Amino acid sequence: MNTEQRFQPKLSRILDVNYKQIPNKFRKQATQRRIQQNNQFETESQGLLGLTNLGNTCFLNSSIQALSNTQPLTDYFMSQLHVKEINPDNPLSSQGNIVQSFAQLIRLLWQKVDQYTLEEIQALKPTQFISTIGNYNPIFAEGTQEDAHEFIAFLLDMIHEDLNRIKKKPYVEQTKFTKLPTNDDAHQEWTKYLSRNQSIIVDLFQGHMLDTLSCLTCKSSRYCFEPFMYLSVPVLSRECDLLECIEEFLKTETLTGDEGWNCTKCSQRRDSNKKIDLWSMPNILIIHLKRFKFNSQFRAKIRSLVRYPLQNLSFENLVCTKQIEKPTYDLYAVINHSGTLTSGHYTAYAKNRDDLQWYHYNDSLVSPVSQPENQSDAYLLFYFKNSVEEFKRQTLEGVNVSQQRRSIINTIVVKQTMLNVHSQQSNSNISENKRNNNNFFVPSISSQAQKRMLFRRQTKHFQIVKAQDQPSFQQDSIIIQEEN
Ligand SMILES: [Zn+2]
């Protein structure tokens, strides 16, 4: 009998389909205790199974363990809510296959298993999950070492589309403001986003930022709102604090030459300033430390120590608007990358919800530690908002979006979470890949050059009808249209 047959998931009713809020169950007090006997730790806590390395799958194992310790997400899956929310007709989804496979894994990880059984099985083999992922993005199932951040971005995006509560996405146009937008403008833009995107992933992980470009010649500016699911912050080449990296990320950057903004007023590419402002902060905040540097000349890993707080990481002085909820965060998981660019290893640290103990997840081995170690290897940090008792669902309530709705039946917006796409290049590459089974690739010309994003497609052919000039992560950056 295999593990999956032996442990039928425990059903718990924590959330209902129309939940308005998700209880913040990142607990302050332990509900289980750990006993040390003969140098062996015994615990009644769940969520402590390892994951077998199936050949360079440490990037995937550590990502799953970090997400698995995201308690409101795990509560959602333990409540079986995903079953009711799957949106199989969404052309950007995996028809629910990825989310079901992920939910199954989460439920196995959080099964109530006694100590004896825990010792006996020790680790789960995520074979089924990897195989499902491979159907939609073969890169993550080829047995090669991949990037944990890219994997998480892909996985959360697919889970979002699998669970997107919007059955028919209205066509909306992102506004490019020429004057500094107001709160009302921000609200309207967020509403547009929500009119196309609502899911547990949006509820928990997404915030809103303002992207400003200013022409250094004519001084005109363009302001755009972007949803975000993680902050990708630069790592300084010296020992520093996380706050310094975030400040660096928020600094005005000057873009010159080909990188400059194609100024609408000057009607040409100009040297310009780019600035990101944090408008509203998410419930769960993922921070990606950009340790990997790529360009045409070199590839390198920055190994400097970034000191990060375990408690009360405060964005109060970093956000550009007054937040309804105090933007302070506690750490609950970290993914480390040790070793070099080409030969490295991923592990995760996470704080267990039952005994409030930190554990180190090293593939099949799970061991207690006093706190996350080797800070100079930290690559992804997972924080939850500690100032609220419940995480609110993102809703359109009280907002009239009917005026913005305009139906374009054949247009689909491809969400590019991590790659910059150039319209012409993508166009040619898409046609090259047309015959490639039922899938098509949007190749990257970004620094992470070998990566290709794969989108499931249900219909025959697509052509790109619009590409935004400044694509950035977590943005609808190309619009493709079915060919008739
Ligand atoms: Zn200009």
pLDDT in tens, 378-389: 999 999 999 998
Please tell me the predicted confidence (pLDDT) of residue 354. 85
| Ligand 1 centre distance from Cα of residue 173 (Å) | 23
Instruction: Compute φ and ψ for 156, nearest 5 degrees.
Output: -65, -35
User: Which CATH architecture is the domain 183-392 placed in?
Assistant: Alpha-Beta Complex (3.90)
Q: How far is the CA of 213 from the centre of ligand 1 (A)?
A: 10
Distance 473 CA to ligand 1 centre (A): 24
Sign of CA dihedral 186, 189, 191, 194: negative
Lowest mean pLDDT among 17-31, 181-195, 316-330: 17-31
Residue predicted with more confidence, 344 or 477 = 344
| Centre of ligand 1 from the C-alpha of residue 256, in Å | 13
Examine the pLDDT at 92 and tell me if it is beyond 60: yes
What does 208-276 look like in DSSP terms, one character per residue? EEEEEEEETTT--EEEEEEEES-EEEEPPSSSEEHHHHHHHHHS-EEE-GGGSEEETTTTEEE-EEEEE
Looking at residue 23, what is its pLDDT? Answer: 85
Q: How far is Cα 391 from Cα 204, in angstroms, rounded to an integer?
A: 7
> Is-contact 133 127, C-beta < 8 A?
no
In terms of pLDDT, which residue wins out, 255 or 43?
A: 255
Check: CB of residue 463 under 8 Å from CB of residue 480: yes
Q: State the CB neighbour count (10 A cutoff) for residue 404.
A: 15
Please provide the average confidence, as pLDDT, over all residues in the chain.
79
Q: Are 62 and 346 in contact (CB under 8 A)?
A: yes
Q: Which helix (H) or strand (E) holds 454?
A: strand 452-456
Give 3-state DSSP helix, strand, coil % of the chain, rounded to 5.
25, 30, 45
Task: Say how many Å lie between the first and final Cα of the chain, rounded.
Answer: 51
Q: How far is the CA of 420 from the centre of ligand 1 (A)?
A: 23
- DSSP, residue by residue, 357-385: -EEEEETTEEEEESS---GGGEEEEEEEE
Q: 191 CA to middle of ligand 1, Å?
A: 30
Q: How far is Cα 82 from Cα 200, in angstroms, rounded to an integer?
A: 9
Average of per-residue pLDDT across 233-238:
94
Least confident of 78-82, 407-411, 438-442: 407-411
Give the residue range(s) of CATH 3.90.70.10 domains in the chain. Answer: 3-162, 183-392
More confident residue, 21 or 191: 191
Note if 58 is an active site residue. Answer: yes
pLDDT at position 242? 97
**Residue 320 and residue 277 in contact, taking contact as beta carbons nearer than 8 Å:** yes
Task: Please report which confidence band the pLDDT of residue 468 belongs to, taking 50, 70 and 90 as the band edges.
Answer: very low
What is the predicted pLDDT for the residue at 484?
32
Which whole-number Å values give the CA distances from 303 to 151, 233, 287, in the listed order? Answer: 21, 14, 16
Cβ–Cβ under 8 Å, residues 27 and 45: no
pLDDT classification of 109: cutoffs 50, 70, 90: very high
Band the pLDDT of 37: cuts 50, 70, 90.
Answer: low
Please choose, from the candidates 119, 122, 146, 124, the residue with its C-alpha nearest in 3D space to the C-alpha of residue 134: 146
Question: For the residues 157-177, what does the mean pLDDT come to?
Answer: 94
Q: Which residues contact 123 (CB under 8 A, 6 or more apart)?
A: 49, 50, 51, 52, 363, 364
Q: What percent of the chain has pLDDT over 90?
A: 60
Report DSSP letters for 307-366, one per residue: E--SS-EE-TTTBSS--SS--EEEEEEEEEEEE-SSSEEEEEEEE-TTT--EEEEETTEE
DSSP bridge pairs for 456 = 439
In this predicted structure, what is the pLDDT of residue 365? 94
Top pLDDT among 392 and 243 is at: 243
**CB-count burial class (<10 Å; 0-12, 13-18, 19+) for 482:** middle
- Residue 345 pLDDT exceeds 50: yes
Q: How confident is the model at residue 191 (pLDDT cuts 50, 70, 90)?
A: very high
Rounded to the nearest whole angstrom, what is the distance from the C-alpha of residue 263 to the centroid of ligand 1? 5
Q: How far is the CA of 321 from the centre of ligand 1 (A)?
A: 27
How many beta carbons lie within 10 A of that of residue 312, not counting itself? 11
The alpha carbon of 176 and the centre of ligand 1 are apart by a number of angstroms equal to 15
**pLDDT above 60 (res 12):** no
- Gap from CA of 116 to ligand 1 centroid (Å): 69
Higher pLDDT, 191 or 19: 191
Q: Average of pLDDT values for 449-464?
A: 31
CA of 251 from ligand 1 middle (Å) equals 21
CB 344 within 8 Å of CB 330: no
Question: Which pLDDT does position 424 carry in this prediction?
Answer: 31
CA 450 to chain centre: 20
Look up the pTM and report it: 0.79
- Burial class of 60 by CB neighbour count within 10 A (0 to 12, 13 to 18, 19+): buried
Q: Which residues contact 408 (CB under 8 A, 6 or more apart)?
A: 171
CATH superfamily ID and name for 3-162: Cysteine proteinases (3.90.70.10)
- Quote the ligand 1 centre to 464 CA distance (angstroms): 27
Average pLDDT on 22-26 reads 84
- Percent pLDDT > 70 in the chain is 74
- pLDDT category at 482 given cuts 50, 70, 90 is very low
Length of the chain: 484
- Distance (Å, whole) CA 78 – CA 76: 6
Mean pLDDT of 197-214: 96
**Is pLDDT larger for residue 400 or for residue 159?**
159
Q: Is 288 a catalytic residue?
A: no
Token output for 153: 């971005």
- Give yes or no for residue 438 having a pLDDT over 80: no
What is the Å distance from ligand 1's center to 184 Cα? Answer: 27
List 187, 240, 266, 345, catalytic entry: 345
Q: What value does the mean pLDDT take over residues 66-80?
A: 94
What's the average model confidence in pLDDT over 163-177? 93
Q: Do residues 82 and 100 touch, judged by C-beta distance below 8 A?
A: yes
Find out whether 199 and 165 touch, Cβ atoms under 8 Å. yes
What is the Å distance from ligand 1's center to 476 Cα?
A: 25
What is the pLDDT at residue 342? 75
Residue of higher predicted confidence among 12 and 245: 245
Nearest CA-CA partner of 334 in 378, 290, 301: 378
- Region 15-32: mean pLDDT is 78
For the cut 60, the answer to whether the pLDDT of residue 13 exceeds it is no
Per-residue pLDDT averaged across 185-206, rounded?
95
Residue 322 has pLDDT above 50, yes or no: yes
pLDDT at 14: 61
461 pLDDT band (50/70/90 cuts)? very low
Decide: 478 and 445 in contact? Cβ < 8 Å. Answer: no
Higher pLDDT, 454 or 329: 329
Long-range contacts at 314-322 (CB < 8 A, ≥ 24 apart) = 315/246, 315/278, 315/281, 318/243, 318/246, 318/247, 318/250, 318/278, 319/277, 319/278, 319/279, 319/280, 319/281, 320/210, 320/277, 320/278, 320/279, 321/183, 321/186, 321/279, 321/280
Cα distances from 147 to residues 7, 61, 344, 379, in angstroms, run 31, 12, 10, 10
Q: Phi first, then psi: what are they for 391, rounded to 5°?
A: -95, 120
- pLDDT mean over 284-298: 87
Residue 211: the pLDDT is 96
Compute the distance from residue 274 Cα to the ligand 1 centre, in Å: 13
